[in-house]
Amino acid sequence: MLKKENRLLTRFEFNKTRRFGRKSNTKYFYFFFLLQKNVADPARVGFVATTHFDKRAVVRNRARRILREVFRKNFDRLKSGFWLVVYPKQEIKGISYEELNAQFNRDLPTLPFAK
């Protein structure tokens, strides 16, 4: 699990990131990202899987759990000062953690919040 200082916690933080941030896509998830004024703060990430993604809570929880683990393992490769809100896509349902992690590592250099 990510440390508390590395997580988005409040509805305000999620809404601010969605409203004022920019949207980007990868193969298995899309996200909103926002650069904060204080760039020295560590990056903060939040994960959302709504019933639009899947009606079953088991599927939504698994998607969030896998995404959290991928970001946790690669957190040191993210630039500080960014807030991220991550949403899984339908394609994530049938893949394993290893596949998602490999794809994330391939996509990371092209993402705006990567070191």
Is residue 104 over pLDDT 90?
Answer: yes
Nearest by Cα to 107 from 47, 30, 45, 27: 27
Q: How far apart are CA 29 and CA 39, in angstroms?
A: 25
Residue 26: CB atoms within 10 Å: 18
For 34-93, how does the pLDDT look when each residue is reduced to its tens digit (9 = 90+)? 999 888 889 999 999 999 999 999 999 999 999 999 999 999 999 999 999 999 999 999
Q: How far apart are CA 60 and CA 31, in angstroms?
A: 16
Q: What's the whole-model pTM score? A: 0.90
Counted residue by residue, the chain has a size of: 115
Q: How far apart are CA 4 and CA 20, in angstroms?
A: 23
Query: Which CATH code is given to the segment(s) 14-109?
Result: 3.30.230.10
1: which DSSP letter? -
Q: How far apart are CA 10 and CA 71, in angstroms?
A: 19
Residue extents of the structural domains in the chain: 14-109
Residue with token string 């998830």: 29
